[in-house]
Amino acid sequence: MTKRVLVLNGPNLNLLGTREPGTYGSETLKDVEALCKSAAGELGLSIDFRQSNHEGELVTWIQDARKTADGILINPAAYSHTSVAIHDALRAVNLPVAEVHLTNIHQREAFRHHSYVSSVAFGVICGFGSLGYKLALEALAQKLK
């Protein structure tokens, strides 16, 4: 059976392409989605790609994934550094989680160095831009074999 991956993007990632291009580059979230769809096709995965600016909506989508997904790829964006609720939801659903950040969060401000998601993820990728999403899908495909 085709494995299903829920790809979640947190707040402000809808602004990719225009948001701080010096930091995040010129690719839009649509470009990232296209890259994920093509990578998923090659890997034999199906993906559901979403973005929300709302913590509660992300929590609900994570809870729903119990019935609709086999794994989760998440770029929690700023919620990485603040959200116990997203940590708890990911822990509760008990699906393999890959955490992705476009930028190298360890090279940036100190408040970005800790992520509440990392301890519930089987792996974390940061600093490789949108390539990180592709690498994380590859890791999830391996994990879900």
**Torsion over CA: 36, 38, 43, 44 (sign):** positive
> Contacts with ligand DQA: how many residues (CB under 6 A)?
10
**Distance separating alpha carbons of residues 4 and 1, to the nearest angstrom:** 9
Whether 116 is catalytic: no
* 12 assigned to a ligand binding site: no
Contacts of 96 (CB under 8 A, 6+ apart): 70, 71, 72, 122, 140, 143, 144
Whether 106 is catalytic: no
Q: Which is nearer to ligand DQA, 3 or 101 (CB)?
A: 101
Where helices occur in 76-130 by DSSP H, the ranges are 84-93
Binding of ligand DQA by 6 (CB under 6 A): no
What is the spatial order of strands in the sheet that 3-9 belongs to?
45-51, 3-9, 71-75, 97-101, 123-126
* 103 assigned to a ligand binding site: yes
Among 51, 52, 75, 130, binds ligand DQA (CB under 6 A): 75
Contact 117, 76 (CB under 8 A): yes
**Distance separating alpha carbons of residues 8 and 76, to the nearest angstrom:** 7
Give least dist CB 5 to ligand DQA, A.
Answer: 18
Q: CA nearest 129: which of 32, 49, 34? A: 32
Among 34, 43, 78, 131, binds ligand DQA (CB under 6 A): 78
Stretch that binds ligand DQA, among 25-33, 42-50, 51-59, 76-84 (CB under 6 A): 76-84
Among 101, 116, 125, 133, binds ligand DQA (CB under 6 A): 101
- Ranges within 12-41 binding ligand DQA (CB under 6 A): 12
Binding site feature residues:
75, 81, 88, 102-103, 112
Interface contacts to ligand DQA, rule CB under 6 A: 12, 75, 77-78, 80, 101-103, 105, 112
